[in-house]
Structure 1
Amino acid sequence: MQCRRHIPGFAFSLVFVLSYFTNKFVLSVLKFTYPTLFQGWQTFIGAVLLLLSGKLGWVEMSFITRSSAVSWLPASLLFVGNIYAGSRALSRLDIPFFFTLQNSSHVVTYFITTALHREKHKTHQLKTISMGLMLLSAVNLPLWDPQVDRSAYLWAVCHLLCAGAYKAFEFHKSSNLSDCEQYCINCLFSVLVLALAAHPTGDLTGALEFPSLYSGVFHCGCGASALLGFLLLLVTVKLKRGLSSEHVGIWIFISKVAPFSFRLSSFLRTTATCAKAGCLEEKEVTL
């Protein structure tokens, strides 16, 4: 029984890690650095699958009124900035560095919440210290990056600002929209905005000259990224319904720690291989 309670959390962590690694593969390995098209594709497939799932009764979605959609547009605008800047940053930063910077979005949310509702929210000293440490780790991160890319860190800052403001808006906005309905509005709005921005940003002309445009690996990567993004939504909704916000935060933390473990194990294997190669060279020289 205890194991069954943790199944949604493990499913979330698995899909979360696979989603980010797939996006990183398309952006950095295949070098498809055209976020208006890449994110537009993901949000388009997400909207189609979500509407189809709602029609089939797989997810709970009711009719979205015009007033509800209009009142949610500021959040949708922040969502577009979040995914666009995040795609730019992820294409140039390693996943552990990206996650460390992304965690600072909680600091943005905390400061916005404290500033707007100072009389309603008591400032806890422990939480303030944790936010300060989180911000300090992000500020010091470029000092430990052997290949500092200023534009990547600039996009990462834009990403965490939009993500933090979105969380603050979502937390304090009294809306009758469910998580799936909010995501549907975000996706439809993103498809419209990113489609209009594809040509002015040069992404459309650049994608037509992309070397792997007709590659099967590229098509599989894009398809997997869109499908994993939709699955991540479903498991996130499932996780939020069964657990408190604190427990959801713990599972998100665990999911972000996993890539660090992969990176550490890869580093240790590489170090061991180099050490063995060095020993063999020394033996050959001795002989």
Structure 2
Amino acid sequence: MYFREPAVGLAFCIFYLAFNFTNKYVLSILKFTYPTLFQGWQTLVGGVFLHVCWKIGWVEINFFSRSDIISWLPASAFFVGIIYAGSRALSRLPIPVFLTLHNGAEVVTYVVQRVFFREQSSYVRSFSVILLLMSVGSLPLHDVQFDKDGYFWAVIHLFCSGCYKVFQKSKKPSSLSDLDQQYINYFFSVVLLASASHPTGDLISALEFPFLYFSIFHSGCFASGILGFLLMLLSVKLRSSVSPAHHLSWAFLAKGLTALVSLFVFEISLDIPLTICFLTGCFGEALLIYAERTGA
């Protein structure tokens, strides 16, 4: 019983690393940058696996009404923005840069909650958001591998991530569980991305992809779909069994481990100013966890 949380948490960290590394390999090393097809394949695999697990009784999906589905569609639209823009950004940016920019979603969440929902915030949380904003804002100035398109898609990714968190919190308590929400996300994504793959030319471009890498691409997409599905299940399990602060702590560890290991696997030009940007972001995120844990 005492080892359950560490076991789930460590598994979450390992799958988080494997998921991001697989995506980075397919998108950057193989240079298969067709996001509608890539993410459509991922969400199809995840949706099918979640549906099968529901039917055989491994997970519980509630019979949600049409009104529940319609009310959740804005969040599903943000979810598509998260995975689409995230793929675009990850294909062009180093993993530590991408994860640091991803933390900027907390800034979006903070601003939306303060401006539109008039929520009060502690000084510790406000200071942590300032540090995250400083880290994100300084990255383009010190990144010697600066990629304009990569940063553009990363901004869209963090904006959609922040809005998704706000929408998710505003729907709590809700008749939709975390798995219900993900079930709707998966199948909404498949429909939207499948319909968008032909007009954008992704399907045609994929068929022209070099045959040598074609099977590797499919294997990578399939592996990414499975890893993403298992990562989602572990995240839901972790969120339901520990406090929000503990869940944030495991997410912080997973991102830190992934960023650190990626330095030895993928190419990145790292210098002192860029390292300071990363460390500032890490300190800001650590303060955010402290604020969540203490209620400060």
Same fold per TM (> 0.5)? yes
The Cα of 1:260 is off from its aligned counterpart by 2.9
3-state SS of paired residue (2:254) = helix
Paired residues in the alignment total 267
The match for 2:199 is: 200
Separation in structure 1 between the aligned mates of residue 175 and residue 4 of structure 2, nearest angstrom: 30
Cα distance between partner residues in 1 of 2:189 and 2:109: 22
Give the Å deviation of 1:214.
6.1
What TM-score comes out, normalization by structure 1 length? 0.89
For the aligned residue pairs, the C-alpha RMSD in angstroms reads 1.9
Contact 1:43–1:190 at 8 Å: present in 2 too?
A: yes
Matched, 1:66 2:73: no
> Which protein has the larger Cα radius of gyration, Structure 1 or Structure 2?
1
Q: 1:212 to 1:126 in 2, by over 3 A?
A: farther
The answer to whether the 8 A contact 2:16-2:258 is kept is no
CA distance in structure 2 between the aligned counterparts of 1:86 and 1:64, rounded to whole angstroms:
29
Do 2:82 and 2:161's aligned partners in 1 also have CA atoms closer than 8 Å?
yes
Instruction: Report how far residue 212 of structure 1 moved.
Output: 4.0
Is the contact made by 1:207 and 1:213 (CA closer than 8 Å) also made in structure 2?
Answer: no
> Which residue pairs with 2:140 in the alignment?
142
Residue of structure 2 in register with 1:246 after alignment: 245
Change (3 A) 1:213 1:253: same
1:105/1:126 Cα in 2 relative to 1: closer, same or farther (>3 Å)? Answer: same
Aligned residues of 1:98 and 1:156 also touching (Cα < 8 A): yes
Identity of aligned residues (%): 52
Structure 1 unaligned runs (5+)? 272-287
Report if the CA contact (8 A) 2:39-2:84 is conserved.
Answer: yes
Of 107-116 and 95-104, the range deviating more from structure 2: 107-116
Contact 1:108 1:164 in 2 (8 A): yes
1:50 aligns with 2:30: no
Aligned to 1:182: 181
Q: Which structure 2 residue ranges, 5 or more long, are not aligned?
A: 271-296
- State whether residues 12 and 235 of structure 1, in contact with CA within 8 Å, keep that contact through their aligned partners in structure 2: yes
- Residue 211 in 1 paired to residue 213 in 2? no
Corresponding letter in the other structure for 1:161: F
TM-score with structure 2 length normalisation? 0.86
Write the distance in 1 (CA, Å) between the matches of 2:110 and 2:246: 18
| Counterparts of 1:215 and 1:38, CA distance in 2 | 12
CA change 1:264–1:192 in 2 (3 A) is closer
Alpha carbons 2:5, 2:242 under 8 Å: kept: no
